[in-house]
A and B are shown apart, each in its own frame.
Chain A
């Protein structure tokens, strides 16, 4: 277990390096350089001045060296200045927006886990009855329909038809409801589907029969015996859930005007704000890699049968 943990942590390093390399290469492969003299809206300075500029920004150095510098700075959280918000560094923007995204993501994940487990258990306990159909259809819609489409329907239903919640913003907890639901439905559907399958398998297992045979009540059988065992495979879903919520937040945040990282990311895409794009991708990538690691270790800790 310890050895496995150490080797997984060590594997983080090449994974992150590969991510950084890919982002770096893409940044340099994009057509147009900030100092290209023939590009549209090119820098009007003389070649000598351009050379000086290149020297100041380190652009005259060979690519491997530039990559090393980029890595060194990125490791210290320095991603340079945003192209679009010229007065602010990327790190400043991230510091401001990341907590907002984290709050939204945590709320959505909590709702997805609680709601998904409940739907899945209901569906498994009442297999092929009404609750099963309700929960399976809800899960299918959540899984199949993109969250920005769900967001549109949620706004129409709960802001216009029944004006319960505002269409956007991020000031009071009332503003949190619709973005959280829009973001949570997809992971909730996945969790519900898996919980249902996993519970169905466990409910038919011999140990459940034993629990019933010794006279335990339905509640104790389901929650103490079945769910505990059904829960283990569901934990593996959490890694991809983080990814789902993370990338999903791009769309949900920009529809509901949530001032989070995702919305800034979308704005930086349209504005071709490369330092911002790279920083956001690396932050998300690193966050998800760490979360995947945590989930895998948790999996081992939860299930004593698993040996690494």
Chain B
């Protein structure tokens, strides 16, 4: 995930041309068209049930899933769990003042930090999917000039290093949670649009699509009921890898001071502030660092598990 580094994680499945890159599309195509409309629903639920069964057997992925669940609970119940409000200062230790402004409760800030990370990780993906999937699907289905325009646009966006672009957008919009959503949404939809387009292109010539069209289905119905359900697997995979990437992006932005606005705690920001005092107060940046590392690893394990479960041949 690189991008920096983690940023490349998502690219593993999408943008690069790894040895097995063509396989998700090729192989799902090879599975054979789900040739008539009535069986589509039944078959696809089988696919998901099988995938779930495979996912359950993957201990690493389940471990990641449990940690993610715990983090979500911490984020939701931050108000109850945190021993102190995150803005509250401990005046008794004012002279030790390691933190930029005041000595504030580290544990409380970390608990509230989970809220920011989870919100960004999950929320940004919703935006990315809402923008990327329709654009990719339409461009793949309609083809022609719109498609050419989109592919060119996507090429230019790919040439722009992603994190650099996010930083640029953030520097224009200013820090803040909403702006992080906007910045990640603006840049993140490109990959998913590209992937959706490839899927739609592969599927739109299939017989079951022709069949549905012959029965009188319009573009909207064709895409939403017939094509997209069959193209869902790679989209789900790329969303699961997009979550840790978004969390990384937020942490990185906050680390350099253009992410979350200071009174709201965020792990990246705490690492950024804490690393200045690493010699005297190492715990200030080590604990948020551990939180980021654990979160990223859990999502990566879970994402790997989801990918293997949905497309076992890829493993």
Q: Which residues of A contact B (CB under 8 A)?
A: 14-15, 18-19, 22-23, 26-27, 29-30, 140-149, 151-153, 155-156, 160, 167, 185-187, 189-190, 193-194, 197-198, 201, 230, 233, 236-237, 240, 243-244, 246-248, 250-251, 254-255, 266, 269-270, 272, 274, 277, 281, 284-285, 288-289, 292
Instruction: Give me 20 other A-B pairs in contact (C-beta within 8 A), A148-B271, A194-B18 excluded.
Output: A19-B156, A19-B160, A26-B168, A26-B169, A143-B6, A146-B251, A147-B4, A149-B289, A152-B285, A153-B293, A236-B18, A244-B2, A250-B4, A251-B252, A254-B256, A269-B256, A270-B258, A272-B171, A285-B159, A288-B159
Q: Is B255's beta carbon under 8 Å from chain A? A: yes
Check if B168 sits within 8 Å of A144, measured CB to CB.
no
Are A18 and B156 CB-contacts (below 8 A) given A160-B282, A236-B17? yes
Contact with A along B60-88 (1 / 0, CB 8 A): 00000000000000000000000000000
Check if A233 sits within 8 Å of B18, measured CB to CB.
yes
- Whole-angstrom distance between the Cβ of A97 and the nearest chain B Cβ: 16
Interface size class of B (residues with CB under 8 A): 35 or more
Check if A193 sits within 8 Å of B19, measured CB to CB.
no
Give Cα A186 to B7, complex, Å: 10
Q: Which residues of B contact A23 (CB under 8 A)?
A: 168
Where chain B touches its partner, the secondary structure class is helix
Q: Which residues of B contact A186 (CB under 8 A)?
A: 1-6, 8
Q: Which of B280-301 contact A (CB under 8 A)?
A: 282, 285-286, 289, 292-293, 296-297, 299-301
Q: Which residues of A contact B258 (CB under 8 A)?
A: 269-270
Tally A-B pairs: CB < 8 A. 184
- Whole-angstrom distance between the Cβ of B188 and the nearest chain A Cβ: 15
Q: Is B134's beta carbon under 8 Å from chain A? A: no
Nearest opposing residue in chain B for A189, CB measure: B5
Nearest opposing residue in chain B for A199, CB measure: B19
Check if A233 sits within 8 Å of B9, measured CB to CB.
no
Which interface residue of B12, B279, B282 has the most chain A CB atoms within 10 A? Answer: B12
Q: Which of B120-143 contact A (CB under 8 A)?
A: none
Check if B19 sits within 8 Å of A201, measured CB to CB.
yes
Check if B5 sits within 8 Å of A244, measured CB to CB.
yes
Check if B4 sits within 8 Å of A248, measured CB to CB.
yes
Q: Is B39's beta carbon under 8 Å from chain A? A: no
Check if A144 sits within 8 Å of B297, measured CB to CB.
yes
Check if B289 sits within 8 Å of A144, measured CB to CB.
no
CB < 8 Å neighbour of B293 from A145, A236, A277: A145
Check if A19 sits within 8 Å of B159, measured CB to CB.
yes
- Whole-angstrom distance between the Cβ of B242 and the nearest chain A Cβ: 14
Give Cα A289 to B159, complex, Å: 6
Which interface residue of B5, B20, B171, B268 has the most chain A CB atoms within 10 A? Answer: B5
Q: Which residues of A contact B18 (CB under 8 A)?
A: 194, 197-198, 233, 236-237
Q: Which of B143-178 contact A (CB under 8 A)?
A: 155-156, 159-165, 167-169, 171-172
Give Cα A243 to B271, complex, Å: 23
Check if A288 sits within 8 Å of B168, measured CB to CB.
no
Q: 6 A-B residue contacts at CB 8 Å?
A: A22-B165, A29-B172, A143-B2, A143-B9, A148-B255, A198-B19
Give Cα A305 to B159, complex, Å: 26
Give Cα A255 to B277, complex, Å: 11
Give Cα A160 to B280, complex, Å: 11
Q: Is B112's beta carbon under 8 Å from chain A? A: no
